[in-house]
């Protein structure tokens, strides 16, 4: 069968670098770090006391208080990102077929703060079990997609993908496939996470997974640096409006880029560590290229997963060299997690959004906080260290990998 073409017609985000796409892109271009001391709880007793929190967050700027109190912060972030993406797309409810429009959202954890709060309150109360009637609908990982579909009367496919840090990239690939197979015209796809909680920080500390560079938060996330000591937790969400090409053209939509391919693999190696040779990472990029009908040399930019972890950074660069061969040295690559942090289940959508903006503006966002390159990493690769650079970008690939060995790559092309 002939597959439909899929394009990006709307973008939205809220994260540590900005309350919208414009603020975020400006700070990305300028190499700004969103990391600082944790303010959402007293982190003084934790090994890690820093995170990429959203600054000056007041949910009532976007969502009425009576509605917001029924949502965990992860769902609030999802709705806020979707609101910007829908406005950006120019889509108006009632002017498209709602039965052919849906939501696929990704979250690796869901309402962790809600779960933590309710359990703490139950333990403190002791004698009589009292729970908030919104406990379950605030906590469950699928509820953000439900809120978004209700807000915009989107009656097509609606569900949430959960694959740890690959969750929202999985959501994008699923939405892409529904549209190109002709089952829908429009999707709001993306993901969100609100992991700046005691439980999350404590859990990642126990794994020695996150940075403890509390004395210098702005340089804590150091992808590919020999002194990196783990990733930095980030919060927020990102949404992309994906649309069937002819549907978008017919309504005169502004098109950012074409979504041309996606790949999914598993490392089948370890619950938290990547395969040391980047086996799954290499395969997922190859599968995405094959799905897009592209050769490695058709790409100009790769947004790396690049978490600032000891094993992950090395494995991913090995995979890039395996897939691209000598052409790897002509690629521009970078890890924007060095600025916005690791949004866990929301990170795939966040970095897909960054990749689309890179194509639109012809700018490679940098990898900041590079001081001493990890000796096991090839210094001839162009990591776009410290400063953004201009480059004509025909197409961009974004990698996202998650605990459990989940790997997703997505490819966007200039149109």
Query: Could you write out the three-class secondary structure of 130-180?
Result: CCCCCHHHHHCCCHHHHHHHHHHCCCCCEEEECECECHHHHHHHHHHHHHH
Q: Is 67 exposed, middle or buried (0-12, 13-18, 19+ CB in 10 A)?
A: middle
**Phi, psi at residue 186, to the nearest 5°?**
-140, 140
- 19, 275, 340, 342: the active-site residue: 342
- 165, 247, 340, 406: the active-site residue: 165
CA angle 136, 140, 145 (to 5 degrees): 125
In 3D space, the residue among 14, 219, 29, 10 whose CA is nearest the CA of residue 103 turns out to be 10
| C-alpha Rg value of the chain to the nearest Å | 20
- 147, 247, 275, 305: the active-site residue: 305
* 305 is a catalytic site residue: yes
Segment holding 99, helix H or strand E: none
- Number of other residues whose CB lies within 10 A of the CB of residue 278: 26
38 neighbors 49 (Cβ within 8 angstroms): yes
* 165 is a catalytic site residue: yes
* 361 is a catalytic site residue: no
Q: Which residues pair with 263 in a beta bridge?
A: 409
User: Which own/partner pairs from 212-215 qualify as long-range (CB within 8 Å, at least 24 positions apart)?
Assistant: 212/47, 212/48, 213/50, 214/37, 214/48, 214/49, 214/50
Q: Which residue has the tokens 């640096």?
A: 225
In 218-367, DSSP assigns E strands to 236-244, 257-266, 301-303, 332-334, 363-364
**Catalytic residue positions?**
165, 305, 342
């Amino acid at each position: 069968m002939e597959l439909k073409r899929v394009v990006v017609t709307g973008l939205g985000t809220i994260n540590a670098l900005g309350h919208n796409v414009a603020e975020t892109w400006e700070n990305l271009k300028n190499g700004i770090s969103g990391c600082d001391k944790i303010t959402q709880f007293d982190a003084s007793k934790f090994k890690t006391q820093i995170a990429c929190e959203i600054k000056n967050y007041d949910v009532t700027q976007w969502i009425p208080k009576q509605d917001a109190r029924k949502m965990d912060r992860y769902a609030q972030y999802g709705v806020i990102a979707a609101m910007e993406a829908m406005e950006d797309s120019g889509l108006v409810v009632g002017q498209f077929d709602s039965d052919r429009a849906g939501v696929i959202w990704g979250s690796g954890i869901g309402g962790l703060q809600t779960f933590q709060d309710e359990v703490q309150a139950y333990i403190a109360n002791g004698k009589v079990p009292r729970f908030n009637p919104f406990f379950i609908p605030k906590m469950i990982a699928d509820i953000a997609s439900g809120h978004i579909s209700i807000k915009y009367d989107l009656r097509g496919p609606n569900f949430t993908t959960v694959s740890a840090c690959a969750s929202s990239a999985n959501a994008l690939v699923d939405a892409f496939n529904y549209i190109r197979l002709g089952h829908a015209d429009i999707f709001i796809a993306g993901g969100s996470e609100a992991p700046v909680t005691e439980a999350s920080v404590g859990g990642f500390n126990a794994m020695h997974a996150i940075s403890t560079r509390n004395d210098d938060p702005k340089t804590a996330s150091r992808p590919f640096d020999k002194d990196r000591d783990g990733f930095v937790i980030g919060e927020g969400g990102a949404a992309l409006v994906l649309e069937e090409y002819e549907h978008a053209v017919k309504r005169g939509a502004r098109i950012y880029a074409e979504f041309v391919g996606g790949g999914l693999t598993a490392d089948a190696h370890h619950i938290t560590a990547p395969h040391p040779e980047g086996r799954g990472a290499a395969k997922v990029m190859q599968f995405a290229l094959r799905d897009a009908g592209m050769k490695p040399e058709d790409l100009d930019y790769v947004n790396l997963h690049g978490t600032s972890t000891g094993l992950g950074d090395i494995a991913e660069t090995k995979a890039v060299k395996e897939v691209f061969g000598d052409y790897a040295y002509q690629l521009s690559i970078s890890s924007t997690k060095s600025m916005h942090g690791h949004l866990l289940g929301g990170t795939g959508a966040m970095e897909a959004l960054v990749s689309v903006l890179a194509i639109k503006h012809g700018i490679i966002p940098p990898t900041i906080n590079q001081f001493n390159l990890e000796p096991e990493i090839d210094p001839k690769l162009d990591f776009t260290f410290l400063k953004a650079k201009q480059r004509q970008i025909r197409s961009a690939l974004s990698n996202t990998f998650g605990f459990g060995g989940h790997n997703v790559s997505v490819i966007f092309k200039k149109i």
